[in-house]
Chain A
Amino acid sequence: MAQIALPSIDYSVILQLLIIFGSATALLIVDLFVAAGSKRITALLAFAVTIVALVAGQYSTTGSTLAGAVSYGPMSQLVNIIILAATAISILLASDALPKQGIERGETYILMLLASGGMLLLSQGSSVVMLFLGLELLSIALYVLTAIAFPRASSEEAGLKYLIIGAFGAGFLVFGIALTFGATGYLTLSDITTHIPTSGIERGYFWVGVTLMLIGFGYKVSLVPFHMWTPDVYQGAPTPITAFMSVGSKVAGFVAIVSILQVLGTELAVLRPILIGVSIATMAVGSIVAISQTSIKRMLAYSSISHAGFVMLGVLSGDANGLQAAIFYLAAYTTTNLAAFAVVMLLEANDGSDLTIADLAGLWQRHPWLSVVMSLSLLSLAGVPPTAGFFAKFLIITAVWQSGLAWLAVAAAVASAIAAFFYVRCMLQMYSGDSQTSEPTRIPLASMIAMVVVTIAIIVVGLAPWTITSALALAR
């Protein structure tokens, strides 16, 4: 009997993954011994794990392991930092918001860790199987997290919706992987690149396979027409979870899309017209439908759809400039969205009922600092200087010009002009009109820390964009 040959494993490449998954499993047991009233301990432990993993990124070695299935390079280093930082901030926010609403469970934080592990796997995965594994780990954790506000009906509904649609998307992905494997005979991305069929039925299989894989991830990052679930799930999920998934799964999903598109190399030109159409439709639907929303979480959901279109603009050019711009955009979007959701979380009623834009009226009188944070994040989402969002938009437009698609830059400009309307309207709501409630908003310490960090990040990235671009230049 032939011996089973196991590939050698370089543990320092997958250091961050090991830390996250290992500690998450251990924490599941630890959590059993934490009293119901003091689940903050679990939260703090989970937070500590993400910080340790963040630091561990510095000590990981670049390279690939597990027979080329997982790799670590400058690009995944940067993306991992974004993902882990977003997870850490989300855990901090959740540890305040969930007990306030009476829906805290220790598992929440552990599931967040597991989801972030899935995201890391998407960022580091260099084989289609790893991408699938990452997506499923991420998704399954998020399905549960969405529905965790038991017995709140809206949360259950959102969880079920997300599960069904997500399973549908995963089906596309698996089928795409199967076809790609059938056409090329390989699973690792680098091998697929060198074995793209040039003719025959295999070429057909290959293109269908790649398209289906892109659709699978298109669901995750909510590209039009695969965006339908986004507003319902964002609205129904507990707000800290919404914040987490709106940034984390978007970053991870886009990194996976980038990995797949990089496989294509120069053949990307075949798909480009479709990708352009998708990104224009995504920007347009996101920006236009957001105008008519009254719920802030739904508005932010459509805004996240519109931003996915912008990121797609950077991705579809397929060159280094576009990629850098897209990553910068994701970083800016992450910090901005976390700030916006943090404010929503603090203003929400304890029963988790939906916060409307009208509820923001008079926030300036009630709580000036919260309205400053919210204004900055809305301005950043709209792309107004001097915020992170402005530079992100500028880099995307420059990258689109450089890839020779000037008219697409104009389309992006139109979409961003439409979007500015509802962001600004929402912002000015806080400064005029009278407050609906006189209830003072107390900001707990953990939320305060999280909010200060992301707000400073919005300004710093906006004024000193080299903090991220220099890291991007390394990742080139």
Chain B
Amino acid sequence: MQRGIAGLVSIINLVLAVIVCVSLAPTAGYQLIEQQTWLPAMGLHYAVGVDGISVWLVVLATLMTPLAIFAARQQTEGNQRAFYALLLVLASSLIGAFVATDLLLFYVFFELTLIPTALLIALYGVGERRAAATKFFVYPFVGSVFLLVSIAGLVYVNWQQTGVMTFDSVALSAAIANGTLKIDENLERLLFAGFLIAFAIKTPIWPFHTWMPQAQAATPDNGSVDIAGILVKIGAYGFIRFAIPFFPNASAWAAPAVAILAVISIIYCGIIAFGQRDMKVLLSYATISHLGFVMLGVFSQTVEGMSGAILTMINSGITTGALFLIVGILARQPGGRIADNFSGAWLSAPRLGSLALVAVFASIGVPGLNGFIGEFLALQGAWISPHIGFTFVVFAVLGIIVSAAYLLRMYRTVFMGEVSVTSAVPEASKSELLVLGLLVVAMLVIGLYPQVILGSMQPSIAALVQSLTQGATQP
């Protein structure tokens, strides 16, 4: 009953998001804006809108919610009402964060994502769930406190120079791009540091990533919370939308340093993923590794790189979502989440095996599937970027090899080899195969015709990069 209502609501949400996506004109700038005054004395507004960048993340967030509810159909322990309510709160706070154009409103939603996720882990998790939930909450919260200080500072500097008290991100980035707001170099770097800490923890990027694998080890086995929480890692979006447009000089200055961290993320977390036996923790490290590519693309500050970064975020959502669903199906067996407990699953579950293979290939970045095009664009952007350059790309490419190694090994262990009585996996149900099939179709469509997504994203990103070069060249 509760599941039915939650599922219905989430599907209505998805339909609405698709309608928004289709009705969006292919131009730069926010559309479908809604604005209400919130705290007029301080220039706060409840202001929301979408553009070519955020609309896809909204679609992804609304796609993940029914998927998570689907994955949770085995969830029978605990209070069902609270479980689905929290999933829906998480979804709405994510959507809120993607559509908020007012800086403080974004911050509110950004923080709000922590509460339902931490409660889901604490209430329905396994193992060291309380420690994991606490770390999940506190670690990103620590970062975001500095974000709050930086937001207050940016707004104050703007007020000092232009006499307007506003939290409107569009107005602020426009003021920086056209030079009406000039921030002192050192102050700009300090303000940027606040954004950087918050978003680097949230992305997450090495060495700020430790909250994530611990949290995902403690989430319910069926993967529902992981799927719903895929987009909790909205740090990269924060960089594209706020940190880089607000502080073009500081972010160009910091780009090499961030790129080094990104490359370390890619390789280091890839190697750690190779050592994991718990499939969910492996996927968690794999995600961090993928997010390294996202960060490279974001900080390249080129049209190619940023498009690739957003595409990689979307791909990571679809592909990792599918993989979490598969692990959830496997985890119903006595073997649990440990890859070594399985063998020869292909023989007993060939359909599941073939769908899993496509998802694994997509995650590795095999051409023709979605992962390839995103990572390629991100790396291309990093190569041609004046801030990063090809040296980083050479090392980042090594990460793709590592990801092939750990994902294929996991696949081989679980699906190949001899099937034994204890390790037999029954075929997935029809509905599971259908959902996985749809996700695989999405992977193929994006892989073969990425223009679906890139096309509508292009004007917004081009305008963003344009304003960056303007802002950076302002004397």
The interface of chain A, by Cβ under 8 A from chain B, is 364, 368, 379, 382-386, 390, 393-394, 397-398, 401-402, 406, 409-410, 412-414, 416-417, 420-421, 424-425, 428-429, 431-433, 465-466, 469-470, 473
Chain A residues whose C-beta falls within 8 Å of the C-beta of B138 in the assembled complex: 420-421, 424-425
Residue in contact with A384 in the complex, picked from B38, B115, B123, CB distance below 8 Å: B115
* B152 contacts A by Cβ under 8 Å: yes
Cα–Cα, bound, A406→B137 (Å): 26
* B129 contacts A by Cβ under 8 Å: yes
Residue in contact with B134 in the complex, picked from A364, A386, A398, A424, CB distance below 8 Å: A424
* B392 contacts A by Cβ under 8 Å: no
Cα–Cα, bound, A473→B137 (Å): 35
Residue in contact with A432 in the complex, picked from B41, B129, B155, CB distance below 8 Å: B129
Residue in contact with B148 in the complex, picked from A364, A394, A429, A465, CB distance below 8 Å: A394
Residue in contact with B145 in the complex, picked from A406, A417, A424, CB distance below 8 Å: A417
A466, B39: Cβ atoms closer than 8 Å: yes
19 A-B residue pairs with Cβ-Cβ distance under 8 Å, sorted by A, are A382-B141, A393-B148, A394-B152, A398-B42, A401-B149, A401-B156, A406-B153, A413-B148, A413-B149, A424-B118, A424-B137, A425-B134, A428-B118, A428-B119, A428-B122, A428-B133, A431-B122, A432-B125, A470-B41
A420, B141: Cβ atoms closer than 8 Å: yes
* B130 contacts A by Cβ under 8 Å: yes
Chain A residues whose C-beta falls within 8 Å of the C-beta of B142 in the assembled complex: 417, 420
A431, B119: Cβ atoms closer than 8 Å: yes
Chain A residues whose C-beta falls within 8 Å of the C-beta of B141 in the assembled complex: 382, 384, 417, 420, 424
A401, B152: Cβ atoms closer than 8 Å: yes
A397, B152: Cβ atoms closer than 8 Å: yes
Cα–Cα, bound, A364→B155 (Å): 40
How near does chain A come to B414, taking the closest CB pair, in angstroms?
A: 31
Chain A residues whose C-beta falls within 8 Å of the C-beta of B390 in the assembled complex: none
Chain B residues whose C-beta falls within 8 Å of the C-beta of A406 in the assembled complex: 149, 153, 190
Q: Which 3 A-B pairs have the closest CB atoms?
A: A385-B108, A417-B142, A431-B122
Q: Counting chain B CB atoms within 10 Å of each CB, which of A368, A390, A406, A469 scores highest?
A: A406
Cα–Cα, bound, A153→B190 (Å): 53
Residue in contact with A397 in the complex, picked from B115, B129, B148, CB distance below 8 Å: B148
Cα–Cα, bound, A354→B137 (Å): 28
Chain A residues whose C-beta falls within 8 Å of the C-beta of B122 in the assembled complex: 428, 431-432
Residue in contact with A364 in the complex, picked from B41, B42, B123, CB distance below 8 Å: B123
A428, B145: Cβ atoms closer than 8 Å: no
Chain A residues whose C-beta falls within 8 Å of the C-beta of B107 in the assembled complex: 385
Cα–Cα, bound, A386→B134 (Å): 19
Q: Which residue of A lies closest to B111 (CB)?
A: A385
A428, B130: Cβ atoms closer than 8 Å: yes
How near does chain B come to A287, taking the closest CB pair, in angstroms?
A: 12
Given contacts A364-B123, A421-B134, contact A397 B111 (CB under 8 A): no
Q: Which residue of A lies closest to B109 (CB)?
A: A385
Cα–Cα, bound, A386→B133 (Å): 19
How near does chain B come to A182, taking the closest CB pair, in angstroms?
A: 42
0 or 1 for each of B135-161: is its CB under 8 Å from A? (1 = yes): 001100110011011001101100000
Chain A residues whose C-beta falls within 8 Å of the C-beta of B111 in the assembled complex: 384-385, 390
Cα–Cα, bound, A143→B115 (Å): 40
* B60 contacts A by Cβ under 8 Å: no
* B114 contacts A by Cβ under 8 Å: yes
A473, B41: Cβ atoms closer than 8 Å: yes
Further pairs besides A406-B149, A406-B153: 6, Cβ < 8 Å: A382-B141, A384-B115, A384-B141, A390-B108, A413-B146, A425-B134
B123, A432: Cβ atoms closer than 8 Å: yes
* B104 contacts A by Cβ under 8 Å: yes
How near does chain B come to A286, taking the closest CB pair, in angstroms?
A: 16
Given contacts A428-B118, A432-B123, A469-B41, contact A398 B155 (CB under 8 A): yes
How near does chain A come to B197, taking the closest CB pair, in angstroms?
A: 10
Given contacts A402-B156, A420-B142, A433-B130, contact A397 B149 (CB under 8 A): yes
A386, B129: Cβ atoms closer than 8 Å: no
How near does chain A come to B75, taking the closest CB pair, in angstroms?
A: 16
Chain B residues whose C-beta falls within 8 Å of the C-beta of A393 in the assembled complex: 148
Residue in contact with B153 in the complex, picked from A401, A414, A431, A433, CB distance below 8 Å: A401
How near does chain B come to A78, taking the closest CB pair, in angstroms?
A: 16
Chain B residues whose C-beta falls within 8 Å of the C-beta of A429 in the assembled complex: 130
How near does chain A come to B20, taking the closest CB pair, in angstroms?
A: 24
- How many of chain B's residues touch chain A, expressed as a range? 35 or more
Cα–Cα, bound, A413→B123 (Å): 29
* B404 contacts A by Cβ under 8 Å: no
The interface of chain B, by Cβ under 8 A from chain A, is 38-42, 79, 82, 104, 107-108, 111-112, 114-115, 118-119, 122-123, 125, 129-130, 133-134, 137-138, 141-142, 145-146, 148-149, 152-153, 155-156, 190
Chain B residues whose C-beta falls within 8 Å of the C-beta of A382 in the assembled complex: 141
Cα–Cα, bound, A425→B122 (Å): 11
Cα–Cα, bound, A390→B42 (Å): 15
Q: Which residue of A lies closest to B44 (CB)?
A: A465
How near does chain A come to B29, taking the closest CB pair, in angstroms?
A: 27
How near does chain A come to B329, taking the closest CB pair, in angstroms?
A: 26
Q: Which residue of B lies closest to A473 (CB)?
A: B41
Q: Which residue of B lies closest to A417 (CB)?
A: B142
Cα–Cα, bound, A379→B38 (Å): 21
Cα–Cα, bound, A465→B38 (Å): 8
Chain A residues whose C-beta falls within 8 Å of the C-beta of B148 in the assembled complex: 393-394, 397, 413
Chain A residues whose C-beta falls within 8 Å of the C-beta of B145 in the assembled complex: 383, 413-414, 416-417, 420
Chain B residues whose C-beta falls within 8 Å of the C-beta of A410 in the assembled complex: 146, 149
How near does chain A come to B135, taking the closest CB pair, in angstroms?
A: 10
Cα–Cα, bound, A416→B148 (Å): 11
B114, A384: Cβ atoms closer than 8 Å: yes
Cα–Cα, bound, A414→B146 (Å): 8
Cα–Cα, bound, A262→B360 (Å): 67
Chain A residues whose C-beta falls within 8 Å of the C-beta of B40 in the assembled complex: 466
Cα–Cα, bound, A364→B115 (Å): 15
Q: Which residue of B lies closest to A382 (CB)?
A: B141
Cα–Cα, bound, A339→B377 (Å): 52
Chain A residues whose C-beta falls within 8 Å of the C-beta of B38 in the assembled complex: 466
How near does chain A come to B471, taking the closest CB pair, in angstroms?
A: 22
Q: Which residue of B lies closest to A407 (CB)?
A: B190
Cα–Cα, bound, A402→B156 (Å): 7
Chain B residues whose C-beta falls within 8 Å of the C-beta of A402 in the assembled complex: 156
Q: Which residue of B lies closest to A412 (CB)?
A: B149
B152, A409: Cβ atoms closer than 8 Å: yes
Q: Which residue of A lies closest to B108 (CB)?
A: A385
How near does chain B come to A197, taking the closest CB pair, in angstroms?
A: 36
Q: Which residue of A lies closest to B141 (CB)?
A: A420
Cα–Cα, bound, A410→B153 (Å): 10
Chain B residues whose C-beta falls within 8 Å of the C-beta of A417 in the assembled complex: 141-142, 145-146
A428, B112: Cβ atoms closer than 8 Å: no
Cα–Cα, bound, A56→B111 (Å): 41
Given contacts A394-B148, A398-B155, A432-B129, contact A469 B137 (CB under 8 A): no
Q: Counting chain B CB atoms within 10 Å of each CB, which of A383, A397, A398, A428 scores highest?
A: A428
B149, A379: Cβ atoms closer than 8 Å: no
Cα–Cα, bound, A386→B114 (Å): 12
Q: Which residue of A lies closest to B46 (CB)?
A: A463
A394, B129: Cβ atoms closer than 8 Å: no
How near does chain A come to B68, taking the closest CB pair, in angstroms?
A: 19
Cα–Cα, bound, A384→B140 (Å): 12
Cα–Cα, bound, A410→B194 (Å): 9
Cα–Cα, bound, A393→B134 (Å): 21
Cα–Cα, bound, A122→B156 (Å): 34
Chain A residues whose C-beta falls within 8 Å of the C-beta of B112 in the assembled complex: 385-386
Cα–Cα, bound, A349→B39 (Å): 43
Cα–Cα, bound, A384→B111 (Å): 7
Cα–Cα, bound, A420→B141 (Å): 8
Chain A residues whose C-beta falls within 8 Å of the C-beta of B155 in the assembled complex: 398
A394, B104: Cβ atoms closer than 8 Å: yes
Chain B residues whose C-beta falls within 8 Å of the C-beta of A413 in the assembled complex: 145-146, 148-149
Chain A residues whose C-beta falls within 8 Å of the C-beta of B82 in the assembled complex: 368
How near does chain A come to B404, taking the closest CB pair, in angstroms?
A: 38
Chain A residues whose C-beta falls within 8 Å of the C-beta of B123 in the assembled complex: 364, 431-432
